[in-house]
Structure 1
Amino acid sequence: MRSNKKSLLAGLVGKGILKSRTPEMHMAEAEAQGMRAVYKLIDVDAFAGEVPSLAELVRAAELSGFDGLNITYPYKIEILPLLDELSDNARAVGSVNTVVFRNGKRFGHNTDLWGFAEGFRRGMDGVPRLNVLLIGAGGAGVAVAHALADCGVAELTIFDADTMRAQALAEQVQTNRPNVQATAISAITKDVADQLNGIVNATPVGMAKSPGTPFPAVFLRPDVWAADIVYFPLETEFLAHARATGCRVLPGSGMALFQAVRAFELFTGCEADPVRMKATFDAFDTVSQATAKA
């Protein structure tokens, strides 16, 4: 993939995202490829006074000459009516996390699906996939559900605090991935937990601003694997409990990295280097450790 692009101007729109590593990954990769790069965090929690609407934020970025925006919680579904065209991936899952501004139009993509799937393939090779519980049926959950189906999960059990949303996602997965048996549940019980091979958290629970765990720790077993999409903190309470129980765990870093790799390519038309972008991501942990020792 080649491009004569000389600069990158992009941003991330979301709530409670000031610790995101996405800006540094994009800027470091752009600069490594000889581009001038600016990537802005647009955190609605940081606004004083009245918060602009999503439509206003998108329009402002477009008018300011941005190449595009990444979209995160809680806007991945809300963004849909504001777009001109959707990629096949985004249309299938009904969720967008990357918007590209080009030729006066807004193009919506979903890089979460490939991002989670790629991280899962690399980090959870060989794990059993007969029955997996997905917690969260929002914008990220929709992408993760389809990614799990693509990674060979046979039975997908879906829980969300909004039971109708969980049911809608189960029906959507059945339609888009008919080889998977998808079922919505209204509560996570011991009977449900006893049947599981794996658990995936696709909710904000576990983030610094949403502490806690989405899955009862008492239901964990050493033969169950656990994955999270939250990456700040990298070791969520859910994963900490799972690791202490003896579970194989997958942090949210994989999805964060690979969705950014694909988004960078969409913004710039240039192929990204995953190894280089991972090094940028991992550098945050090195800095944190050095600060703690100082």
Structure 2
Amino acid sequence: MISAVVDEARRQLGDLVATRRKAQSADGRQFLVGLLGRGIQASKTPRMHELEGRRIGLGYTYVLIDFDTLGLADHDLGAMIELAEALGFAGLNVTHPFKQAVLPLLDDLAPEAAAIGAVNTVVLEAGRRTGHNTDSWGFAESFREGLAGASMEAIVQFGAGGAGAAVGHALLSLGGRKLTLCETELGRARGLAERLSERFGAEVDATDDPALALAGASGVVNTTPVGMAKYPGLAFPGELLRASHWVAESIYFPADTGVLGGGPAG
């Protein structure tokens, strides 16, 4: 039975698509895509995607499916994917907190998504849902560009969820020698540490103690949602950050998160 909340969300999303779906390419090709997540109203993704679509001559409409704005529960994820299919979406991006929750709702996983165990992109085609992960590649490319030459001797990564799984793969593929996963849900961190260690043959530890994790670290990466507009603050006590640490952030809005804007403690 469809709840009143889901029914209203369907109406709102249908109205939004009808309003936004104005772009039409000269050759008649048109694509409708969206982003599934929570607290995503400040996302820059729709504008970036639509501008790029326009540049290459595609009719491209990108909408936000914000579970907070629509008043949806996490378990409504399947209903929203079904609605996207019914409305003719070509695909969906997936962000916090659904990058792993979406896995059981898919028909197929691309090799990189299966290895990482998280999805940030779902292609809807021919009645099938195929999950992909571009987070790992994207983080690795950004790291090469912005932190070339940074010490990979001992890295601390905060977070072991969907984004954390992708970034952990990227860090080890970039040559990370030792990776410590610091996560409040210690069991989740241990599970990811075991998978990463098995795949890369690297030393990967798990802890829920930030001070212990950061002792002797060369670099720090935040893959938690802490720092987003919805979750302001730091994923760890700021005084633990030192001038000798290099810092990487998986959050791209706002530009100055707590860990980037606060600077080292000394």
Q: Same fold (TM over 0.5)?
A: yes
Cα distance change, pair 5–208 in 1 and its aligned pair in 2 (3 A): same
For residues 3-35 of structure 1, the C-alpha deviation after alignment (integer angstroms, 9 at most, x for no partner) is x88222100000000000111111111110111
Letter in 1 for 2:240: F
Is 1:81 equivalent to 2:82 in the alignment? no
The offset of 1:52, in angstroms, is 7.0
Partner SS, residue 123 of structure 2: strand
Partner SS, residue 255 of structure 2: coil
Question: Do 2:37 and 2:67's aligned partners in 1 also have CA atoms closer than 8 Å?
Answer: yes
Partner of 1:186: 208
Distance 1:89 1:5 in 2: 33
Is 1:175 equivalent to 2:192 in the alignment? no
For residues 73-129 of structure 1, the C-alpha deviation after alignment (integer angstroms, 9 at most, x for no partner) is 000011001111100000001101100011211110001111111111111101101
Distance 1:162 1:175 in 2: 21
Is 1:33 equivalent to 2:59 in the alignment? no
Partner of 1:210: 231
Question: Do 2:28 and 2:59's aligned partners in 1 also have CA atoms closer than 8 Å?
Answer: no
What is the aligned counterpart of 1:9 among 16, 32, 44?
32
How many residues of Structure 1 are paired with residues of Structure 2 in the alignment?
Answer: 240
The offset of 1:50, in angstroms, is 6.8
What is the aligned counterpart of 2:189 among 166, 178, 187?
166
Is 1:60 equivalent to 2:104 in the alignment? no
For the aligned residues, what is the CA RMSD? 1.7
Partner SS, residue 92 of structure 2: strand
Partner SS, residue 53 of structure 1: helix
Cα distance change, pair 50–75 in 1 and its aligned pair in 2 (3 A): closer
Is 1:111 equivalent to 2:134 in the alignment? yes
For residues 223-257 of structure 1, the C-alpha deviation after alignment (integer angstroms, 9 at most, x for no partner) is 11011111221101111223x558xxxxxxxxxxx
Partner of 2:16: none
- Runs of 4+ deviating beyond 3 Å: 48-52
Q: Which has the higher contact order (CA 8 A, sep 6+)?
A: 1
Partner of 2:120: 97
The offset of 1:186, in angstroms, is 2.3
Partner of 1:155: 178
Distance 1:95 1:51 in 2: 16
What is the aligned counterpart of 1:238 among 249, 255, 259?
259
TM-score of the aligned structures, taking structure 2 as reference length: 0.86
Unaligned runs of 5+ in 1: 247-294
